[in-house]
């Protein structure tokens, strides 16, 4: 199959491709969560949920592998270095009690993936202590076991955890494509810049395409 993408067509085989949804968690996306408590407009992130849901449903229907990630730390924060926890001057830090439980702590209500995109049986769920999906997670090994070579990315935020994961994937030899309307930032200019960086110089990091191009490819496969 191929997707009409930038900077050029993205070729993939369903059997060796996974859909990777990065950190679509309640604390980042829902009103009243951690993201909003930091002064961010979470409606920007909420806006990508319908498109992401359509992609997820179509990918499941085609029998493709799905990976979900959550930015999550152990309750004792032993996997959260001070360099991460103490960065900036937020009113709430990782591990503090927030509107939906302790911030970015595994098992807390706000740390869960939103209901519209909740994992189902057989899908991979990765709790990651860093920004990238591959750091200290074993994701690479899981994908290698399944002979995955291509990754389709969506999720939040574009310039932080999504871009980091794309670059990690690129370094490990995966061909990655970022679905443009299935990713978002609290800062639209950051998203726009990331899309340009990903596909610059002949796709130095990867490809980008609207989700409609993927859905069209999947419909063509059905035919």
Which residues, in sequence order, are CB contacts of 184 under 8 Å at separation 6+?
A: 44, 45, 47, 48, 156, 157, 158, 191
- Given the residues 161, 175, 182, 191, the one annotated as active site: 161
Q: What whole-number distance in Å separates Cα of residue 30 and Cα of residue 154? A: 17
Whether 128 is catalytic is yes
Which residues, in sequence order, are CB contacts of 68 under 8 Å at separation 6+?
A: 21, 24, 113, 117, 119, 123, 124, 125, 126
Beta strand extents in 39-149 (DSSP E only): 65-71, 97-98, 101-102, 124-128
Q: What whole-number distance in Å separates Cα of residue 78 and Cα of residue 108? A: 16
- Given the residues 27, 80, 128, 131, the one annotated as active site: 128
Say how many CA atoms lie within 13 Å of 107 toward its Cβ.
5
State phi, psi for 207 to the nearest 5 degrees.
Answer: -115, 160
The residues annotated as belonging to the active site are 23, 128, 161
């Amino acid at each position: 199959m191929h997707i009409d993408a930038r900077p050029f067509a993205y070729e993939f085989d369903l059997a060796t491709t996974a859909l990777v949804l990065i950190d679509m968690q309640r604390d980042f996306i829902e009103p009243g969560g951690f993201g909003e408590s930091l002064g961010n407009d979470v409606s920007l992130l909420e806006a990508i949920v319908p498109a992401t849901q359509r992609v997820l449903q179509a990918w499941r229907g085609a029998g493709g592998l799905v990976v979900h990630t959550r930015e999550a730390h152990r309750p004792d924060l032993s996997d959260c270095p001070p360099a991460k926890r103490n960065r900036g001057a937020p009113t709430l830090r990782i591990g503090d009690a927030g509107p939906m439980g302790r911030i970015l702590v595994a098992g807390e209500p706000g740390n869960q993936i939103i209901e519209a995109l909740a994992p189902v049986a057989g899908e991979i769920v990765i709790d990651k202590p860093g920004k990238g999906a591959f750091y200290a997670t074993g994701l690479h090994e899981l994908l290698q076991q399944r002979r995955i070579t291509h990754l389709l990315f969506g999720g939040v935020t574009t310039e932080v955890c999504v871009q980091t994961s794309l670059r990690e994937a690129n370094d490990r030899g995966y061909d990655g494509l970022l679905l443009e309307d299935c990713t978002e930032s609290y800062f639209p200019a950051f998203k726009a810049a990331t899309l340009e960086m990903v596909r610059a110089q002949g796709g130095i990091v990867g490809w980008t395409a609207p989700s409609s191009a993927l859905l069209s490819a999947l419909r063509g496969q059905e035919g």
